[in-house]
Amino acid sequence: MFKNLGNRKAHPYLLIAPTIAWLAGFIVYPLIFSIVMALKQFKLKKDLSFWDMPWVGLRNFEKAINDENFLGALWVTLLVLLVAVTIEFLLGLAIASLLNRKNVRGHPFFMTLLMTPMMMPIIAGGLLWRMLLDVRWGAVNAVVQWFGLPPIDFLGTIQWSLPSVMLVDIWQWTPFVVLILLSGLRAIPDELYEAATVDGAGRVQAFLKITWPLLAWPVMIVLLIRSMDAFKIFDVVYGLTFGGPGNSTTTVSFYIYKQGFSQFNLGYAASLSWIVFIIVYAISTLIIRFLRPSED
Amino acid sequence: MSTTATKQARRFLDALGTHILLLAIVCLFAFPTFWVFMTSFKTPREYYAMPPAFLPAQFQIFHYKEAFAPWTVDPTEMATNYWVEESAGRVESVTPQIVNSLIITFGSVILSMAVGAPAAYSVSRFRFRGSKDLSFWVLSTRMMPPIVTAIPIYWVMRSVGLSGTHIGLIMVYVMINLPFVVWMMKGFFDDIPVEIEEAARIDGCGALALFWRVILPLAIGGIVATALFCVFLSWNEFLFAVILTDTKSQTLPVALSLFRQDRGVLWGQMSAVIVVATLPILVITLFLQQHVVRGLTAGAVKS
C-alpha cells in the first residue's frame, strides 16, 4: 500500500496524520466550537436547536468576570494548587530521597504499597475518604477521639472541608511526585557525588551543587503537571464533598460542570471554560519559562 | 577495631532507621486501601460503630453478593445480620456497569493503539518539517483540563446521537489515551536499533511489511506496557463518563458515584464495589510495576 505511493517522504506524514486528525477533532474543534457556544445564549432545552439560540456577544464573558461564585472557585483552585502541590512536592522529594539511599532494600515492596492510592479510580478515593472522615463513624475521628479531642466534622464545616479535599489530593498524588523525582535522582551518576566528597563537600553542599541543578528538569515537569492537574480536580470533589458545604470546595472544574449540567447554561459554561483555558495556558507558559533548566 | 565496630553499628542503625521510617510512610499511604478492603467484609454493626472494628470478626462476602448478584442474597440472612437501612437502600447489581466498563476500556485501548502506534513510529524514525513541534503538541494536550472540552464535546455528541452510546465514550477515551501512546511507544521504538530495519530494507522488505513484520514484533513488550497503561486511564476515567453515559451505558466509576447520593449509607456495598473496581489495576501494577511507572512518567524523564 505504501509502496504504491512512491514518494517515501510522505510516509511520516501519513503515519502521524490519524493521530493529529483525532486530536484536532476532539480538542481543537471543540475549543473553537465552544467560542461559538460562549457567544450565544446556549441553553440545554428540549426542542431548542442550535439555530434558535440568540447571539449575545460578549455578555457571557462579562457575566463571568462579575460572577462571585466563579471567582470563588478560581480562588479555591488556586489555594489547592499552592498548598497541596507544595506539600506534595516537599513530601515527595523527602520520600524519593529516602528511597534513593544506597542502603535501602525491598524497593518493589515499598513502591507497591506507596502506589496503591493511584491505582484506584479517583472517585473511589473521594468516596473512601468520605467514609474515613465521617463525623460519627469515621476511622480518622476514632483517632481524634483517642487523643481525647471532640470529633471533627471534616466534611460538614467550612474550615475543614477544603483541607480535607487537599488531604485526599495529597494522599493520591504524592506517590506520583515520588515516582518522577526518584527516576530523576537515579539518573544522577554516583561519580559526581564521589568527586564532590573527595573535594571535601558536605551533604548540604552536594545537594545544592549536584542534586538540585540536575534535578531541575524532573522538578519542572512535576510542578507543571501537578499545577495543571489542580485545574482538573473534579472527581475527588464529586465523591467527597460535592462542592460543599456552601461553595467551600467548589473548584473551577466542578463549577463549570454544575453550570453546564445541573443549570444547563452550556453557553455560560463554555465561556468559563475558555477563561480557564487561557489561565492554564498562561500558568504553564510561566512555569516553563521560569523553571526551564539552562540548555547544556 | 572498636572504631570499625562502632562504624558498623552506626551504619546498621542508620539503615534500620531509614527502613522503619519508609515502612511507616508507605503504611500511611496504603492504609485507606487496606481499610476499604476490610470494610467490604464487615457487617454494618462493625463499621457503624465508634470506634469502628479494625478487622471484621468474620470475613463476610455478603456485600459482594449484594453488589454483584443480589439475587443470591438470602433474605433471612439479611434480616438477622444486617440493618434495615441496608435493605432499604438495596438496588440493582452493578454487573452491567462492569460489562460497560470492559467494552469501553477494551474498545478505546485497541483503537488508541492502532491510531497512536504509527504516529509514534513516525516521530521516532523520521525527521521531517515540524516533527518536533507536532510531537510536543501531542504531549502538551495532556495538560489540558478535560472540562474545557467537555462542554462542546457533550453538545456535539448529543447532536449526532452518540451521547449515551459506548462508541461515543470510546472515541473520547482515544483522545485521552493518544498523547500517552505516542510518547510511550516513541520511547520503545527509539530502543530498536535502526540497523535491523536497514537490513530488512536491503532484503527487499516494503514499508508496510517492515512495520508489521519487523518493528511491531520487536516492540511487543512496549505495546503491552502501553496498552496496559491505557487500560489504567480508561478504566478510571470519570468526568466524560458521567456526562456522556446514560443508565444503559454507565461505567463502573459512574456506578460508584451513585453511592454518594441515594446509596450514601451503604458503606459495605460501596467498599465491595471499590475493591472490585481497583483490583484489575492493582494486579496489573503488581506484576508490571516498571511498565506502569514508565507510562506515568512518559515525557517527564529525559532518557
- pLDDT bin (cut points 50, 70, 90) of residue B19 is very high
| Partner B, chain A 117-146, Cβ-Cβ below 8 Å | 117-132, 136-139, 141-142, 145-146
A217: which chain B residues are within 8 Å (Cβ-Cβ)?
301-302
Taking 90 as the threshold, does the pLDDT of residue B48 lie above it?
no
* Residue A177 belongs to a domain: yes
**Domain residue spans in chain B?**
1-29, 40-93, 95-296
- pLDDT bin (cut points 50, 70, 90) of residue B265 is low
pTM over 0.90: no
The nearest alpha carbon in chain A to B238 belongs to: A235
Instruction: Give the CA count within 13 Å in the CB-facing half-sphere of B201.
Output: 10
Task: Please give the helix or strand (H or E) that residue A113 lies within, else none.
Answer: helix A107-119
Taking 80 as the threshold, does the pLDDT of residue B123 lie above it?
yes
Mean pLDDT, chain B, integer: 84
* Residue A100 belongs to a domain: yes
Segment B13-24 shows an average pLDDT of 91
* Residue A40 belongs to a domain: no
Question: Which cell goes with B36?
Answer: 476499604
Question: Which cell goes with A226?
Answer: 501537578
What fold is seen in the domain B95-296? MetI-like fold (1.10.3720)
Neighbours of B211 (CB within 10 A): 19
pLDDT digits (tens, 9 = 90+) for B133-179: 888 888 888 888 899 899 999 988 988 888 889 999 999 999 999 99
CATH of the domain at A271: 1.10.3720.10
B152 → closest Cβ in A12, A33, A221: A33
A117 → closest Cβ in B29, B144, B253: B29
Maximum distance among all alpha carbons in chain B?
83
Angle in degrees, 0-180, between the axes of helices B166-191 and B289-296, rounded to the nearest 10: 100
What is the number of CB-based contacts under 8 A between chain A and chain B? Answer: 295
* Residue A34 belongs to a domain: no
* Residue A175 belongs to a domain: yes
Taking 90 as the threshold, does the pLDDT of residue B10 lie above it?
no
Q: Low-confidence residues of chain A, pLDDT below 50?
A: 1-6, 295-296
Taking 90 as the threshold, does the pLDDT of residue B84 lie above it?
no
* Nearest alpha carbon to residue A117 among B38, B291, B33: B33
* Residue A61 belongs to a domain: no
Q: How far apart are CA B237 and CA B229, in angstroms?
A: 13
pLDDT of A83 reads 95
Q: How far apart are CA A1 and CA B14, in angstroms?
A: 64
Higher-pLDDT residue of B115, B87: B115
C-alpha distance across the termini of chain B, in Å = 45
DSSP tag of B212 = I
Query: How many domains is chain A built from?
Result: 1
pLDDT of B184 reads 86
pLDDT of B47 reads 84
pLDDT of B53 reads 82
A232: which chain B residues are within 8 Å (Cβ-Cβ)?
145-147
pLDDT of A22 reads 93
Domain with A274 in it: 66-291
pLDDT of B108 reads 96
| C-alpha of A137 from chain center | 30
pLDDT digits (tens, 9 = 90+) for A16-67: 889 999 999 999 999 999 888 888 877 776 666 777 777 887 888 888 888 8
Per the CB < 8 Å rule, is B141 touching A111? no
* Residue A192 belongs to a domain: yes
Segment B107-125 shows an average pLDDT of 92
pLDDT digits (tens, 9 = 90+) for B201-243: 888 777 778 888 888 888 888 888 889 889 988 999 999 999 9
A19: which chain B residues are within 8 Å (Cβ-Cβ)?
115-116, 118-119, 138, 178, 182
pLDDT of A65 reads 86
Taking 80 as the threshold, does the pLDDT of residue B79 lie above it?
no
* Residue A145 belongs to a domain: yes
Percent of chain B with pLDDT over 70: 88
| 8 A C-beta contact, residue A256 and residue A107 | no
Instruction: Give the CA count within 13 Å in the CB-facing half-sphere of B39.
Output: 29
Taking 70 as the threshold, does the pLDDT of residue B57 lie above it?
yes
Of the residues B29, B37, B233, the best mutation for testing chain A's interface (the one with the most A CB atoms within 10 Å of its CB) is: B29
pLDDT digits (tens, 9 = 90+) for B276-302: 999 988 888 877 777 777 766 665 555
